[in-house]
Amino acid sequence: MSNTATTSARSKPEWEAQFRKWVGAASDTEKTRREHAESMIRDAIQGSKALQGRLVRVFAQGSYRNNTNVPQESDVDLCVCSSYTIDLALPPGATKAGAGLSDATYDYATFKSDVGAALVAKFGSSAVKRGNKAFDVSDSGYRVEADVVAAFDHRRYTSQTEYIKPVGTCIRSDDGHEIINWPEQHYMNGVAKNQATGMRFKGVTRILKELRFEMIDAGITAARHLPSYLVECLVFNAPTSDFGHSFVYDDLSSCWHLGATSVSGREQAAAMDSPVARGRPVARDLVVERAGRSAQWAPALRLGSGVASRSGRSVRQVGVAMAPGSQVHCTDSRRPGYLEWNNRDDLAAG
């Protein structure tokens, strides 16, 4: 029997029992891990002379903060953000001078290097690996496993003097890409969605993340190409009416009508990441076309009718449904709701 058949050969009651095990929130141990990692990284930053006076704050983001993490997601996502220098997006006709801003003297490259030096000073060079976008901190002595990004505040102005609040964050990868995130909107939109769905949104997200890991363990390679953050995006975009059934299985079945809806890439990109969350209906196809392949989850779940094909086009061409607090390259800084997945790695696990 193939791995796919083994994974899918469960009755509805058996799936329901498994989903009930997966639906629960993070344990106290995982919460303690997040708080400990955040405290240790904050100590490292506060101990840096180079960062003194740079208006730096440290906070958790991603799945640990939003309570959609599962045990297999061991690293805590942390942001080291400075408001000393501001990244900004101005509407047509607006100027920096009109917004009361002047050219910065402290640039991002210097800030990221200062953050890296602070982490090395605290944990040692062997425990800190600089990546394209984040620092991987893994120190067994301090019991810290974290992905740490250095960011500047991002202000998206809607007029000469007004900008969206809470502000976003901006990071610049070592290979030159700018990535705009909205961690506060990500969190608030997730909380609102969870409340609107009778506290089911986050649980369903955790279930599908767990299912993804089970599929990977079963040798189903398509599951490897689906970042957990993308799973959360797609669940967020399912209509609220799809949640709240007596059986969790039925929530999953309603949310995941694979191939049931087809909308344009622009419509898919509406949403949870946006500071002004549009909340429009989007495609519920769990489709990620990468290198000409579609990631197929429906057969393993036996909850859907198949996987829709976007005429063989790649995600780069059609876009994907994004969710709270974008972690993707923004194609137009004046239009926060429309994003493009330029690189799978841009979807840092959330």
Residues 156 and 38 in one domain: yes
Q: Domain limits at 237?
A: 3-24+186-346
What per-residue confidence (pLDDT) applies to 8?
54
Residues 250 and 143 in one domain: no
Residues 54 and 132 in one domain: yes
Residue-wise pLDDT for 312-340, tens only, equals 322 222 222 333 333 333 223 333 322 22
Which of 147, 181, 215 is where one domain is finished? 181
Residues 103 and 199 in one domain: no
What per-residue confidence (pLDDT) applies to 120?
98
Mean per-residue pLDDT of the chain: 74
Residues 16 and 35 in one domain: no
Token duo for residue 116? 């890296």
Which of 181, 203, 235 is where one domain is finished? 181
Residues 133 and 232 in one domain: no
Give yes or no for residue 94 having a pLDDT over 90.
Answer: yes
What per-residue confidence (pLDDT) applies to 205?
94
What per-residue confidence (pLDDT) applies to 254?
87
CATH number for the domain that contains residue 72: 3.30.460.10
Residue-wise pLDDT for 287-296, tens only, equals 322 222 333 3
Q: Give, for 90, the enclosing helix (H) or strand (E).
A: none
What per-residue confidence (pLDDT) applies to 6?
46
Give yes or no for residue 264 having a pLDDT over 50.
Answer: no
Residues 172 and 127 in one domain: yes
Give yes or no for residue 307 having a pLDDT over 80.
Answer: no
What per-residue confidence (pLDDT) applies to 56?
98
Q: Which position has the token pair 């061409």?
A: 317
Residues paired with 77 in a beta bridge: 147
Residues 332 and 211 in one domain: yes
What per-residue confidence (pLDDT) applies to 25?
80
What per-residue confidence (pLDDT) applies to 234?
85
Residues 41 and 151 in one domain: yes
Q: Which of 84-98, 247-261, 321-335 has the highest mean pLDDT?
A: 84-98
| Domain count for the chain | 2
What number is the average pLDDT over the span 125-132? 97
Residues 206 and 103 in one domain: no
In sequence order, which residues have a C-beta less than 8 Å from that of residue 287 and are 6 or more positions away? 258, 294, 295, 307, 308, 309, 310
Helix ranges (DSSP H) in 172-281: 183-196, 201-217, 228-236, 248-255, 265-268
Instruction: Annotate 182-194 with three-state secondary structure.
Output: CHHHHHHHHHHHH
Give yes or no for residue 157 having a pLDDT over 50.
Answer: yes
Give yes or no for residue 300 having a pLDDT over 70.
Answer: no
What number is the average pLDDT over the span 30-51? 93
Residue-wise pLDDT for 171-194, tens only, equals 999 999 999 999 999 899 999 999
Q: Label residue 112 by pLDDT band (50, 70, 90).
A: very high
Residues 147 and 49 in one domain: yes
Percent of the chain whose predicted confidence (pLDDT) is above 70: 71
What number is the average pLDDT over the span 255-269? 41
Give yes or no for residue 110 having a pLDDT over 50.
Answer: yes
Which of 118, 152, 181 is where one domain is finished? 181
Residues 198 and 219 in one domain: yes
Q: Which residue has the higher pLDDT, 168 or 331?
A: 168
Q: Label residue 206 by pLDDT band (50, 70, 90).
A: very high
313 vs 292: CA distance, rounded Å: 7
